[in-house]
Structure 1
Amino acid sequence: MDLARQMQSIDHDAHRIADAVRRNPTGRVTSCPDWTGADLLAHVAGFARYLTDLFAGAADNDTEFPKVPPAEAAQTYDADVARLLRTLCDTPPDAPVSHWAAVQQVAASWQRRAVHELAVHRWDAETIGGDPAPVDQDIALDGIAEFFEVFVTTGIQAGFVPPAQATLVLEITDTGTRREEHLPHPGSVTTMRGTASDLMLALWRRRDPLAFHVGGPREMLEHWPAI
């Protein structure tokens, strides 16, 4: 995915988050029931500020994630997102930028992360009193890849997720493709089937992974971590 497409996706989702929340800032986010819409907007504003500071060298991996008060975020969200977009767009993908995960320590890793952070939270925002639109297919496919390449890999290497002899197969119905992931060693196969959007959101526990289970042990999905 090129940088122009990434920036288009982030910009589009950022505006859709704001639109959904501003219609009902006190509404409950169904997919994250501890949050109101105002809380979600504050979280995204904090992400935007953190990443902007990280790229500028004003934050590092030990910097605490900014806790933006919802009332403040309601006023600053548009400016926070605009600064983030300018920063991401103006930074060469190969520029050095520190990252907490076991990935290349370059801007591209965060440019990718921002796409999926905003895509998932756009879906969250649209659960406030409504039926959210699916994640775009190309974004969802890369989101699935990022989940395994970054979060699962880092979790296993850091010891947060115990290594397993297990294999997860994703049958992606809207592309007719199949993805096989060993966690990290081959083992009993659990299969999920759904659209790219369905499966990305299920991996992030926004949708019930068991709703897409079609074969093999269910235990992996029953105990799938909530992130």
Structure 2
Amino acid sequence: MTLLAHDRYCDEIAHQVGLLRAVVTSGADLSVTVPTCPDWSLERLVRHTGGALRWVELMVRTRAEKEVPEDQVPSGDGPEDAGELDAWLAETGDLLVAALREAGPDTAVWSWAGIPTSGFWARRMAHELTIHRADAALAAGQPYEVAPDIAADAIDEWLQIVEFAQRTIPDDESRELRGAGRSIHLHATDGTAELDAEWVIEFTDDLIVWRRGHEKATVALRGPLTAVLLAFYRRLPLDSPELEVLGERELLEFWLERASFG
């Protein structure tokens, strides 16, 4: 598994911020409930996402050695007037991308995942935006697509996060994803020779083991890469027409119930 270039993540953050701003300015009802985050309105989703970006920007810019409380982030909740959210998002994206580009990928910055670098945050925020922009598009009834390299890397990152949670969080539900002899295969049907968009996830008696590749598994999830990404992040139902589940569906559902980050 190879990370994308630092500048690629920075470019994607800028791109995804622009797409999220387009949802905000499209005339969508900001009070509508986000179906994939039912405790939030679309406005709350936007504020949460922008606030997360501001939080990371502050930590990267100040080279934080420990976690910064979110209530210490300037303008972290956004403007009181929802009509000013677009300008706030634009400024937020510019600030974060500038901080990340200036830091480069290897600057020491606190993180929660045992990878204390600015590069970790560039990747994490690119995918935070990728998924929450999907939430926003679904709430607004708008189409959603994402670049294949970003979608594939988002699946890689998620698998790493699940393994990290298994290893370090004693009461996390991901620790139930154990028991040798069971496996999941993710198969993006629109993958190419240049982009190996298939994954094998093996359960063991300890931590999950995963790799890119095509192998027979207990259950397989097949479909276009964007659909596989959204289903794996619990943003798209398994019964969606563009998806196909082959084998023991219950195992895939078991995974989705216990791997619930984001």
Task: Indicate the TM-score class for this superposition, using the shorter chain for normalisation.
Answer: 0.7 to 0.9
The CA distance in 2 between the partners of 1:197 and 1:32, in whole Å, is 19
Aligned 8 A contact 1:14 1:118 in 2: yes
SS of 1:71's equivalent in the other structure is coil
What is the Cα-based RMSD across aligned positions, in Å? 2.5
**Distance apart, 1:34 and its partner CA:** 2.3
Q: What is the percentage of aligned positions where both structures have the same residue?
A: 25
Following the alignment from structure 1 to structure 2, what is the Cα–Cα distance between the partners of residues 61 and 168? 36
* Distance in structure 1 (CA, Å) of the matches to 2:66 and 2:136: 27
Partners of 1:185 and 1:36 lie apart in 2 by 35
Hey, what does 2:112 align to over in structure 1? 100
Distance apart, 1:38 and its partner CA: 1.2
Residue 166 of structure 2 corresponds to: 156
Is 1:181 the counterpart of 2:201? The answer is: yes
- How many Å apart are 1:168 and its aligned residue? 1.4
Contact 1:144–1:199 (8 Å) recurs in 2? no
30-39 or 85-94, larger mean C-alpha shift: 30-39
TM-score (norm 2): 0.76
Q: 2:94 is aligned with what amino acid? A: A
Provide the secondary structure at the position in 2 that maps to 1:202: helix
Alignment of 1:47-58 (within 5 A): 47-57=52-62
Q: 2:238, 2:80 → 1: CA distance? A: 35
Look up the match of 2:37: 32
Note if contact 1:61-1:100 (Cα within 8 Å) is conserved in structure 2.
no
Q: Distance in 1 between matches of 2:80 and 2:146?
A: 28
**Contact 2:63/2:108 (CA < 8 Å) preserved in 1?**
no
Q: Does the 8 A contact of 1:210 with 1:222 survive in 2?
A: no
Q: Which amino acid aligns with 1:57?
A: T
**Cα offset, 1:132, TM superposition:** 2.4
Change over 3 Å in CA distance of 1:169–1:79 after alignment to 2: same
Alignment of 1:148-227 (within 5 A): 148-149=159-160, 151-158=161-168, 159=170, 160=172, 161-162=174-175, 163-165=177-179, 166-175=182-191, 177-183=197-203, 184=207, 189-209=218-238, 211=240, 212-223=243-254, 224-225=256-257, 226-227=260-261
Return the offset for 1:213.
4.9
Partners of 1:219 and 1:60 in 2: CA distance: 42
Which of the residues 129, 132, 135 maps onto 2:143? 132
Counterpart amino acid of residue 188 in structure 2 = I
TM-score, length basis structure 1 = 0.87
| Alignment partners' CA distance in 2, 1:106 and 1:63 | 15
**Matched-pair contact (CA < 8 Å) for 1:116–1:143:** yes
Query: Could you tell me whether the CA contact under 8 Å between 2:163 and 2:208 is conserved in 1?
Result: no
- Structure 2, unaligned stretches of length 5 or more? 210-216
Runs of 4+ in 1 over 6 A off after TM superposition: none
